[in-house]
Amino acid sequence: MAETVLTNPGQSPARLEGWRGIAADWASDQRAFKNVSWGKAMMWIFLLSDTFIFSCFLLSYMTARMSTTVPWPNPSEVFALNIGGNHIPLILIAIMTFVLISSSGTMAMAVNFGYRRDRVRTAILMLVTAAFGATFVGMQAFEWTKLIMEGVRPWGNPWGAPQFGASFFMITGFHGTHVTIGVIFLIAIARKVLRGDFDVERRGFFTSRKGYYEIVEIMGLYWHFVDLVWVFIFAFFYLW
C-alpha cells in the first residue's frame, strides 16, 4: 500500500512505501472529507449510534416475544378503539403513522426552501413539521394513558406476557422522547430562520455562516431518521 505525493512542481509524483505509505493512506481520509461540515458529520455519527440503540431495543423485544411461554397480547385488540360503537383495530396507530410520515414531506420541503434562502417558507414548513410532531406525541400520550388505565405496567399487563408492558413503554417512550426533542429544536431553528439570523450572521447557538442554511438540512436528517425508526416500530411492534 502506498501513497502518491508531489515533491516539486514539474516533477513526477513520488510514492511513499511501507509504513509511511500506510500512514499516508489512512491520513487521506482527512482530505477526502475536507468539504464535509462538522455539524453534518457529527449528526451522521449520532444517527449511526442511535441506530444501534434502536436495533438493540427491537431485537430485545423480538427475543422476549419469541422466548416467552405466556401468550403475547394481540396488538390488533390491545390498540383498538371503540368509535361510534365499532371496534376499530389500530386506528390510532394508523393515524399516528400517517401524521409522522407526512411530517417528513414538509421537512423535505423546508430543506429545499432553505437552500433557496426563502426564510419565510422555510420557517413555516418547519413549524408545520413541528405541529405534526407535537400531534404525534399528543396521540402517543393518549395511547399511554389508555393502556395505563387498562392496567398495563412495565412489569405486567392483564392480557398475558408481562414483557409486553416493558417492551411497549421502553420502545415507544424512547422514540417519543426523540420526537419531542425534535419538535423543540424545530421550533427553535424556525424562529432563528424567520428572524433572519442566518442572513445577518447573528451570533448565537446553531447559527452558521452568513447565508448558509445547513442547520435546516441537519435538522432534516434527524427528523427523517426519527420517521424511519417509527416505520420499523410500527411493523415489528404493532403489525407482528
**Per-residue pLDDT tens digits for 34-67:** 566 778 888 999 999 999 999 999 999 999 999 9
What tens digit of pLDDT does each residue of 77-125 get? 888 888 877 888 889 999 999 999 999 999 999 999 988 889 899 999 9
Q: Which CATH number fits domain 36-238: 3.40.50.150, 1.20.120.80, 3.40.50.300, 3.30.70.580?
A: 1.20.120.80
What is the spatial distance between Cα 51 and Cα 201, in angstroms, rounded to a whole number?
Answer: 34
Residue 171: count of CB within 10 angstroms of its CB = 20
Amino acid (1-letter code) at residue 195: R
Say if CB 41 and CB 29 are below 8 A apart.
no
Domain regions of the chain by residue span: 1-35, 36-238
d(C-alpha 98, C-alpha 57), whole Å: 23
* Alpha carbon distance 99, 95 (integer Å): 6
Return the ∠ at Cα 212 (arms to 209 and 215), rounded to 5°.
95
Name the residue among 111, 118, 76 with its Cα closest to residue 239.
Answer: 76
Q: Is 85 helix (H, G, I), strand (E, B) or coil?
A: coil
Q: What is the pLDDT of residue 13?
A: 44
| 153-204 per-position pLDDT tens digit | 988 888 888 899 999 999 999 999 999 999 999 999 999 888 887 777 666 5
Q: Per DSSP, which regions of 49-181 are E strands?
A: 81-83, 86-88
Burial state string for 66-104 with b = 16 or more CB within 10 A and e = fewer than 16: eeeeeebbebeebbbbeeeeeeebbebbeebbebbebbb
Tell me the whole-structure pTM to 2 decimals. Answer: 0.81
Q: Specify the residue for cell string 419538535.
A: 183
